[in-house]
């Protein structure tokens, strides 16, 4: 909501299938109310990817 960005995954995993993981990030200072956006970029030349599902949980 504040326009901030956090990189969760960057150029690792090679051509491996099914990257299943949980990322824990300290969002202190970020506004929780508002619209959140997941931005995915696949810059691999001969490999493709699909995001089947994702979620965001605050604790």
Position 4 in a domain: yes
Position 5 in a domain: yes
DSSP string over 16-43: -S----------TTS--SS---------
Structural domain including 14 reads 1-44
Position 17 in a domain: yes
pTM above 0.95? no
What confidence tier does 47 reach under pLDDT thresholds 50, 70, 90? confident
Position 38 in a domain: yes
What is the number of structural domains in the chain? 1
Using CA atoms, how far apart are residues 27 and 47, in angstroms rounded to an integer? 31
What confidence tier does 16 reach under pLDDT thresholds 50, 70, 90? low
Residues 6+ apart with CB under 8 A from 31: 1, 2
Check residue 13 and give its pLDDT: 60
Position 8 in a domain: yes
Check residue 14 and give its pLDDT: 64
Position 54 in a domain: no
Residue 28 pLDDT greater than 70, yes or no:
yes
């Amino acid at each position: 909501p504040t326009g901030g960005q956090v990189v969760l995954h960057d150029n690792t995993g090679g051509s491996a299938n099914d990257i299943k993981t949980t990322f824990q990030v300290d969002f202190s200072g970020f506004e929780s109310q508002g619209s959140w956006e997941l931005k995915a970029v696949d810059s691999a030349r001969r490999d493709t990817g699909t995001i089947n599902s994702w979620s965001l949980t605050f604790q």
